[in-house]
Amino acid sequence: MSVPPHSSNQPHSSRPRRTLSWWGLAAILGGLTLIWLYFDHPHLTRSASPFTALMYLGSGCALILSGLRALAGEITSLFGKLRNRPARRYRVSMPREAVIYGLILVVLCAGALLGRSNMLMLVFGLMAGPFILNGQVTLGILRRLEVTRSLPEHATVGENFSVKLSLSNRKLLLSSWMVSAEDMVQAPREQLQPVVLFTCVPSQSTRQAVYEIRPAHRGLHEFGPVRVMSRFPLGLMERSIDMGFVERFVVYPRIGRLKSRWRRSLSTGELASEHARVGLGASDDEFHRLREYRRGDNPRAIHWRTTARRNELMVKEFQHGRSQDLLVAVDLWLPGPHPHTKTPQKQAPRTQPQPADFERVELAVSFAASICVDHMQSATDSTIELVISGRDTERASAGSGIASMGGLLERLALAQAGPADGLARAIRDAADSAPGTLRQVLITTRPRAALEASLIAQAESNERLEASDFEVIEADPQELTAWLEFDQPGSRGAT
């Protein structure tokens, strides 16, 4: 028969009890008495014989040490219980000013005891009072406080988003003054510590403060825990408490604006598939909106009445209502030692990726995210199939509309580069399950020749899969300038 944890077969009265060492307490008390007698009688301190000081001070120290040795077992068990007890959340730290203030107190106390000066002892008491009072006031300020955090629904790299912290004071009478809340933001390859200040939070009330963050990297961000601290009123002691709740938040890749080359390529792909469709009419391209003229737009699309009224060139934008589905394959290949990858013999793999390789990966993810956003906003009844191959290979599909955008962007935000072993199988399965009017786009971080060699190496013996079946776009900074543009460069930071 098994015994449950933390159970005992012995009766309660048979448990050993540790008795307090009264000899240790008496020895410590006697040693302190001898030291006090030596400094209390002037004829002892003024005695020229060193044996007097040795007898009193040496005997007192010996008694104190023997008493502490006798109490060693009780002290060890006491510290063991404190170590096993849940840790206190309140932490105390002393700023530099408080350390200097404490040194002054030590000097005053030593001078008052050695010099038997009541005036110095009075000054020491007057200075020690505010020091102790400050510690108790900060403890009262931080008691019964609650912090909540409000995050937005989504955020994008390079764009500011606001985080709201709410501080609630649950005390019945006392207000909390000058309380700082420091949030911990753990992001990929960076760590931020934004701080907000609550000047006064009355009792039974809530105050709010907002800070802004501009993320520089996509991926999973962890917010928390929040550290609440205060030095009020004198600043001699800082007491803090950690509100231990952590929230996870996904930052989407940076979204750019597709240029006219993508529009022309889209029109070419639609015209090539017109013979496979029936019943095309003039209403397939519907008017969508008026926007500012951009370089490369068709001059015939200029709306002259709105241009004259607004004194700037405005063009008509049409959305494509024709049902052409889109397959976007993202090849997030990163050079490195991949033992399970079939690498062509003519190309020696690099063991360490360079900063330019990471830049190509981020550009590929941003370009794919921009394509997904543009397609889901403009197409009316089409779907999009997304294939991501890097460290892992995954597929996702979504219909048109803003509601289905979050799932694809979240997958792109969490995608990590790697050997891209399952690229060939994933794009073959996606192409086989899609309709015949599918437009296939392949975004790769490696040269086209290396991509073709990899597809041939990954393909099975009875299948044909070539890069020419796709519209291959290399994620090169120079090449992508003809396809994609950003409004402003992103920078990191928190305000």
Say yes or no: 139 and 244 in one domain: yes
Q: Is the pLDDT of residue 348 over 50?
A: no
Q: Which residue has the tokens 């029109």?
A: 267
Say yes or no: 45 and 102 in one domain: no
Mean pLDDT, range 51-76, rounded to an integer: 75
- The model's pLDDT over 297-341, given as tens digits with 9 standing for 90+, comes to 778 888 888 888 888 888 887 655 445 678 899 999 888 765 444
Residue from 402, 415, 495 nearest 195 by CA: 495
- 231 within some domain: yes
Q: Tell me, what's the pLDDT at 194?
A: 93
Residue 3's pLDDT band, with cuts at 50, 70 and 90, is: very low
Mean pLDDT, range 436-448, rounded to an integer: 82
Say yes or no: 374 and 407 in one domain: yes
CB-count exposure of residue 379 (10 Å: 0-12, 13-18, 19+): buried
Say yes or no: 266 and 140 in one domain: no
Give percent of the chain with pLDDT exceeding 70: 75
- 198 within some domain: yes
Q: Which residue has the tokens 């070539």?
A: 466
- The model's pLDDT over 392-429, given as tens digits with 9 standing for 90+, comes to 888 888 765 566 678 889 999 999 988 888 888 888 88
End-to-end CA distance of the chain: 62
Q: Which residue has the tokens 């049409």?
A: 318
Specify the higher pLDDT residue, 344 or 305.
305
Mean pLDDT, range 109-113, rounded to an integer: 82
Say yes or no: 67 and 99 in one domain: no
Q: Tell me, what's the pLDDT at 347?
A: 46
Any idea what the CATH number is for the domain that residue 184 is in?
2.60.40.10
| Mean pLDDT, rounded, of the chain | 77
Q: Is the pLDDT of residue 86 over 50?
A: no
Say yes or no: 391 and 455 in one domain: yes
Our count of domains for the chain comes to 3
- 211 within some domain: yes
The mean-pLDDT minimum among 37-51, 82-96, 267-281, 414-428 falls in: 267-281
Q: Supply the DSSP symbol for 56.
A: I
Q: Which residue has the tokens 């976007």?
A: 328
Say yes or no: 448 and 397 in one domain: yes
Q: Tell me, what's the pLDDT at 122?
A: 86
Q: Is the pLDDT of residue 474 over 70?
A: yes
Bridge partners, 394 (sequence order): 388
Q: Round to whole Å and give the CA distance between 360 and 189.
A: 17
Evaluate whether 165 touches 152 at the Cβ level (below 8 Å). Answer: no
Domain that holds residue 431: 257-272+323-485
Say yes or no: 97 and 67 in one domain: no
Say how many C-beta atoms besides its own lie within 10 A of residue 62's C-beta: 13
Say yes or no: 265 and 213 in one domain: no
Q: What is the DSSP string of 105-146?
A: HHHHHHHHHHHT-HHHHHHHHHHHHHHHHHHHHHHHHHTTEE
Q: Tell me, what's the pLDDT at 460?
A: 61
Listed residues 11, 42, 71: the one ending a domain = 71
Listed residues 44, 71, 98: the one ending a domain = 71
Q: Tell me, what's the pLDDT at 4?
A: 39
At 158, which amino acid appears? Answer: G
Q: Is the pLDDT of residue 242 over 70?
A: yes
CB-count exposure of residue 221 (10 Å: 0-12, 13-18, 19+): buried
Say yes or no: 327 and 448 in one domain: yes
Say yes or no: 267 and 186 in one domain: no
Q: Tell me, what's the pLDDT at 319?
A: 56
- 264 within some domain: yes
Mean pLDDT, range 132-153, rounded to an integer: 89
Q: Tell me, what's the pLDDT at 343?
A: 44
Give percent of the chain with pLDDT exceeding 90: 20
| Range picked from 48-62, 183-197, 268-282, 415-429 for highest mean pLDDT | 183-197
Say yes or no: 361 and 335 in one domain: yes
- 286 within some domain: no
The mean-pLDDT minimum among 195-209, 429-443, 456-470 falls in: 456-470
Write the CA distances from 128 to 13, 137, 304, integer angstroms.
47, 14, 81
Q: Tell me, what's the pLDDT at 15?
A: 41
Phi-psi region of 479 (alpha: psi -120 to 50; beta: other; left: phi over 0): alpha
- The model's pLDDT over 179-221, given as tens digits with 9 standing for 90+, comes to 999 999 998 888 899 999 999 999 999 999 999 999 999 999 9
Helix (H) or strand (E) holding 90: strand 90-93
Mean pLDDT, range 72-85, rounded to an integer: 60
